[in-house]
Chains A and B, each alone.
Chain A
Amino acid sequence: MEIKGEQLKVGYGDYTVIQGMDLHVQSGRITSIIGPNGSGKSTVLKALTRLLPYKSGMVRVDGRPLSSYSPKELARNIGVLPQLHSAPPDFLVRELVGYGRVPYQKWYQQNTEEDQRVIDWAMKATGVYPLREKSIRECSGGESQRVWIATVLTQQPQILFLDEPTTYLDIAHQLETMRLVKKLNRENGIGVVMVLHDLTQALDVSDWIVVIKNGRKYDEGTPEDVITAKMMKEVYDVDCDIIHVPGRRKPLIAYKEIG
C-alpha cells in the first residue's frame, strides 16, 4: 500500500502550515518525519490520514483519492495514534485494545471470535497480553503507550501512523517503544510513519526520513544521506558533527558543547 500526497496545502482556518508538499509513504518500511517545532510535521501526518482536511492538492491511497474511502474502510487500512489520546482510567487494557475493532463492526455488533483473535494477537505482539486485566490507571507510561499501539494494531492496518510516540516517556520507555515499532515492521511488514523529535532514534530505526522546514519539504532519503551536519545547521540552526563509532552500524550526532 502506498499513500501519495501531491501539492498538498494544509492549515487551520486562514493559516496555511503546509505550502504545497509532495510526500510519499508506503507499507513495509519505517518513515520518520522530522523538523523543528511548528514546521508542520503533525499537520502533514493529519492530512495524509484525513484527520485534517487539506485546502488544495490531492492525497491518493493506492491510486484512489482519499475522499473516496469511507471512514471505516480507511480505518481498516491505516491506523493512527494521535499525539493526544485519553481513555477513562478504569478501562481495562483488553477493553481499550478491543476498540481497534470498531472499524470492522456495525454500531450494534459485539466482538466476534475473529475480533477476539485479532485483539489477542495485537496484545501479544506488543507485549501487553499479561496486562490485559489491568486498568489503564495501573499501567506505567511506557506500558500505556504499548497498549495504545496495540489498539491501533487491532485495526490490522497496512500503515501505522504515530505522532510523536515517544514524547513524555523516559529514555528506557522511548527505546522500548522504538524497539516495538521496529519489531512490528520487521515481523509483520507493517509500514510505519512517525513524527519524531529525537534524531538519534530517527537515524537508528528509520528506513526513510523526510525533513520538513517551514511547511516545505527540505529533503528526504535514507537516514545517512539526510542527517548531515549541513542539514542540522540549515534546518535546526544547530552545530554538530555526525560521527561514526566503531562497532555501531549507525552514526551518532555529537552536538556542539554548550560551553
Chain B
Amino acid sequence: MSKSSKRKVSALRVGTVWLILVIALGLLSLVAINVGSAGYSVRQIVDALLSPEKSTVKVIVVNLRLPRLLLALLIGASLSAAGALLQSVMRNPLADPGTIGVSAGAGTAATTILLLFPQMTGAVPLFAFGGAALACFLIYTMAWKEGIDPTRIILSGVAINSVLGAYNSLLQMLHSDSLEGVLAFMNGSLSGRSWSHVHTLSIYAGIGLVLAFLCIKGANTLQLGDEMAKSLGVNVSWTRVLLSAVSAFLAAATVSVAGMIGFVGLVVPHIARLLVGSDYKQMLPTSVLLGAVVLLAADTVGRTVVPGMEIPVGIVMSVTGGPFFLYMLRKRGKVRGN
C-alpha cells in the first residue's frame, strides 16, 4: 500500500515539474515572439499571420523571431542533454562539453577559418563541427590506456585544451584588427540566424537527442561506480566512449550553428537533478526541457534588456549562470556529479 502511494507521490512530483516546464516554455515562447526592438501587440501579430499579405510584422515574426526561438529551444535542449550525459561519464559535477574539447576544437577551427581563410567564412559551421569532433577524438585517444577512466579524460582534456587555447590566442594577437567574427563566435550568439540554421540543427539535434535517450540505462549504471558496473557485465570503457560521442555530437552541432554558449550544459543538469533526482529516466527529459526554457529566457533577455543593442546569449548565460550556480552550491549544498 505504502509502496504504490509513495510511487505515486514521486511520479506526481516529476509530472508536476514537467508540466510547469512545458507551461513555462509556452509562455516564454509567446513573450519571445512579442518582444523585441519592434514591439507588437498579440492582436497585430495574429492579424498579420492570418492575413495573406506580406507585412513587416509577418516578416519580422516569421523570418526573424520564430527561427531564433526554435534555435534557442534546440540549442538549450542539446547542450543540457550533452552536459547531463558527460556528468555521468566523468562522475564529476564539473564536466561539460568544454571538458572534452568541443569548445576548444570548434574555436580553433573557426578562428583559423575566420582569420586565415576569410574567403571561406561560409564554411565555418562545417569546420567548427569537424574541429570539435577532432579535438574530442584526440582527447579520448590520448586518454585511452587499456580502457578509459574519467581522470585521464579530464587531464588529457586540460592538456589539449591548453594547447588549442594557446594557438587561438596567438592567432588572435596576430590578427587583432579583424576579431569581430571571432568574438561573435566565441560568445555564442543567435543574432541573424535563419530558417536554414533551424533546418540543419533540427536534424542534428533530433538525431542526437534520440541517441541521448537511448543512453539512459548506460548513464544510470555508470552511477554505481566502475567496478560495480563492470561486475554487472557492463563494458564500462565503451559505455563511456559511446555516451561521450553522443554528447560531443550534440554539443558540436550547437557550436557550429551558434558558437560557444557556456554554462547551460553545466548548470541545467544540476538543477534538473535537484528537481527530480538522479535517475536519468527522469533527469534527462527534465534537463532537456529545462535547458530549452533557460536558453530561450537568456536569449530573450539578451536581445531586449538594453534597447537597441544585443547582448550575445553566451554572455547572458555566463553572467547569470555563474552567480546562480554559486547560490545553489551554498544554499542547497547538494550539487553533485553522480
Binding site for B on A (CB under 8 A): 49, 51, 53, 70-76, 79-82, 84-88, 90-91, 95-96, 99-100, 102-103, 107-108, 132-133, 152, 155
* A73 surroundings in chain B (CB, below 8 A): 233
Q: Do A108 and B214 form a contact, CB below 8 Å, given A80-B227, A86-B338?
A: yes
Binding site for A on B (CB under 8 A): 2-3, 6-7, 146, 214, 217-218, 220-221, 223-225, 227-228, 230-235, 277-279, 336, 338
Closest to A155 in B: B232
Cβ of B227 and Cβ of A84 under 8 Å apart? Answer: yes
Cβ of A72 and Cβ of B227 under 8 Å apart? Answer: no
Cβ of A107 and Cβ of B217 under 8 Å apart? Answer: yes
Chain B nearest CB, measured from A95 CB (Å): 7
* A82 surroundings in chain B (CB, below 8 A): 225, 227-228, 231
Cβ of A133 and Cβ of B3 under 8 Å apart? Answer: yes
* B217 surroundings in chain A (CB, below 8 A): 102, 107-108
Cβ of A103 and Cβ of B232 under 8 Å apart? Answer: yes
Chain B nearest CB, measured from A192 CB (Å): 15
* B231 surroundings in chain A (CB, below 8 A): 49, 51, 75, 79-80, 82, 152
- Could you jot down 16 A-B contacts, CB within 8 Å? A51-B231, A73-B233, A80-B228, A81-B228, A82-B225, A85-B224, A86-B224, A88-B223, A90-B277, A90-B278, A102-B217, A102-B221, A103-B233, A107-B214, A107-B217, A133-B2
Cβ of B278 and Cβ of A88 under 8 Å apart? Answer: yes
Cβ of B6 and Cβ of A133 under 8 Å apart? Answer: yes
* 6 closest cross-chain pairs (CB), A and B: A88-B278, A75-B233, A72-B233, A82-B227, A80-B231, A103-B233
Cβ of A87 and Cβ of B223 under 8 Å apart? Answer: yes
In the bound complex, how far is the Cα of B338 from the Cα of A132, in angstroms?
Answer: 21
Cβ of A71 and Cβ of B3 under 8 Å apart? Answer: no
In the bound complex, how far is the Cα of B228 from the Cα of A75, in angstroms?
Answer: 11
Chain A nearest CB, measured from B145 CB (Å): 10
Cβ of B232 and Cβ of A102 under 8 Å apart? Answer: yes
Cβ of A91 and Cβ of B338 under 8 Å apart? Answer: no
Chain B nearest CB, measured from A71 CB (Å): 4
* A108 surroundings in chain B (CB, below 8 A): 214, 217
Cβ of A99 and Cβ of B230 under 8 Å apart? Answer: no
Q: Do A102 and B228 form a contact, CB below 8 Å, given A86-B338, A91-B279, A95-B279?
A: no
Chain B nearest CB, measured from A157 CB (Å): 10
In the bound complex, how far is the Cα of B338 from the Cα of A255, in angstroms?
Answer: 43
Cβ of A88 and Cβ of B277 under 8 Å apart? Answer: yes
* B278 surroundings in chain A (CB, below 8 A): 88, 90-91
* B224 surroundings in chain A (CB, below 8 A): 85-87, 96, 99
* A75 surroundings in chain B (CB, below 8 A): 231-233
In the bound complex, how far is the Cα of B338 from the Cα of A49, in angstroms?
Answer: 25
* A71 surroundings in chain B (CB, below 8 A): 230, 233-235
Q: Which of A86, A90, A96, A102 contacts B233 (CB 8 A)?
A: A102
Q: Which of B227, B234, B279 contacts A85 (CB 8 A)?
A: B227
